[in-house]
Amino acid sequence: MLLSSLIAIAAVLMMGVISPGPSFIYVARHSLTHSRVHGLVTSLGMGVGAATFALMAMLGLQRVLNAVPELYMALKIAGGAYLIWMAVKIFRSASQPLTLALSHNDAPKGLWKTFRDGLFIQLSNPKTAIVFASIFTALLPANIPTIFYYVIPLMSFVIDAGWYSLVALLLSAEQPRRVYLRIKTAVDRTSATVLSILGIKLIYSSLVK
């Protein structure tokens, strides 16, 4: 039961982070206009931001769910609905080209400032906060084991930092960047399909006992 919760959370987080958005563009921009190292350092900032969101969401969830058990089912349904809504948005925009507004005249940038900016971009993104709250509310057990407070933030860091590090490595080279942009539609539609299936499953499991 606990292992399945971790696997489900990891799967949804991976599907969410793979779909290009503001964080993707920010990492790609640093990789292309500064250096591959700048892209990797930005990725670490994104990962720390994701771990921070994960811990904050978990610290608040347990108190709420223990105080109002009936809220667990309602929030689980809401989380499933949000995943479906997000999947629809991703699917509808899958065929749209990804525009990277890049400037090749950027001044050299320090690595600490690069890390800090990556962290702030992640923490200032309201979509990220909503995603974490929805996913954890929907997929965490009502009584959260103590070890989850260590495992899930670490898992969130590895997923975000790992994916954006891969983005930095690939998009700092011209040919891989062109390949990725060609398959963007397929990647987005696959992510949207998985998210919608998970959302439907969450709603169904909440309504049918």
- Per residue in 175-203, pLDDT tens? 776 776 778 788 778 878 887 887 888 78
Residues 128 and 48: beta-carbon distance below 8 Å = no
Alpha carbon distance 74, 195 (integer Å): 19
Measured in degrees and rounded to the nearest 5, phi and psi for residue 106 equal -65, 140
Alpha carbon distance 164, 115 (integer Å): 13
What's the burial of 12, exposed, middle or buried (CB within 10 Å: 0-12/13-18/19+)? buried
Q: Residue range 126-150: average pLDDT?
A: 76
pLDDT confidence bin for 204, thresholds 50/70/90: confident
Q: Which residue has the higher pLDDT, 63 or 190?
A: 190
Sequence-distant (6+) residues with CB within 8 A of 102 are: 29, 32, 33
Q: Residue range 131-159: average pLDDT?
A: 84
Q: Residue range 103-128: average pLDDT?
A: 71
Which helix (H) or strand (E) element contains residue 174? helix 174-182
pLDDT confidence bin for 102, thresholds 50/70/90: very low
- pLDDT tens-place string over residues 16-59: 788 766 677 778 777 766 778 888 999 999 999 999 888 888 88
Residues 23 and 164: beta-carbon distance below 8 Å = yes
Residues 203 and 81: beta-carbon distance below 8 Å = yes
Structure pTM? 0.69
